Amino acid sequence: MAISNSFVPLLSSVSICSSSSSSSSSSWSSSFSSLTPFKLHYPGWMLSNRSSNGRLVIQCSSSEISPTPDAMNMRQPQVSSMASFGVTMNDFGSSKPSYKWRRVLLKVSGEALAGDGMQNIDPKITMSIAREVAAVTRLGIEVAIVVGGGNIFRGSSWAGSSGLDRSSADYIGMLATVMNAIFLQATMESIGIPTRVQTAFRMSEVAEPYIRRRAVRHLEKGRVVIFAAGTGNPFFTTDTAAALRCAEISAEVVLKATNVDGVYDDDPRRNPNARLLDTLAYNEVTSKHLSVMDMTAITLCEENNIPVVVFNLSKTGNISRAIKGEKVGTLIGGTWNSMVART
Question: For 99-338, which CATH superfamily applies?
Answer: Acetylglutamate kinase-like (3.40.1160.10)
- The whole-number pLDDT of residue 159 equals 81
The answer, as to whether pTM is greater than 0.75, is no
- The whole-number pLDDT of residue 338 equals 54
Query: Across residues 275-299, what is the average pLDDT?
Result: 91
Phi, psi values for residue 88, rounded to 5°: -105, 165
Residue 297 has pLDDT above 50, yes or no: yes
Q: Give the DSSP letter string of 240-283.
A: HHHHHHHHHTT-S-EEEEESSSS-BSS-TTT-TT--B-SEE-HH
- The whole-number pLDDT of residue 151 equals 92
C-alpha torsion angle, residues 228, 232, 237, 238 (rounded to 10): -20
Please give the Cα distance from 313 to 180 (Å, whole number).
Answer: 16
Residue 11 has pLDDT above 90, yes or no: no
Give the 3-state secondary structure of residue 222: coil
Residue 63 has pLDDT above 80, yes or no: no
CATH 3.40.1160.10 in the chain, residue ranges: 99-338
CB-CB contact of 87 with 97 (8 Å) = yes
- The whole-number pLDDT of residue 12 equals 40
- Which has the closest alpha carbon to 148: 236, 233, 237, 259? 237
User: How do beta strands 195-199 and 208-209 pair?
Assistant: parallel
Query: Across residues 318-343, what is the average pLDDT?
Result: 78
Q: Give the DSSP letter string of 165-189.
A: -HHHHHHHHHHHHHHHHHHHHHHHH
- The whole-number pLDDT of residue 292 equals 87
Query: Across residues 286-297, what is the average pLDDT?
Result: 89
- The pLDDT tens digits of the residues spanning 224-282 come to 999 999 999 999 999 999 999 999 999 999 999 988 899 998 888 888 888 999 999 99
Cα 43 off chain centre by: 40
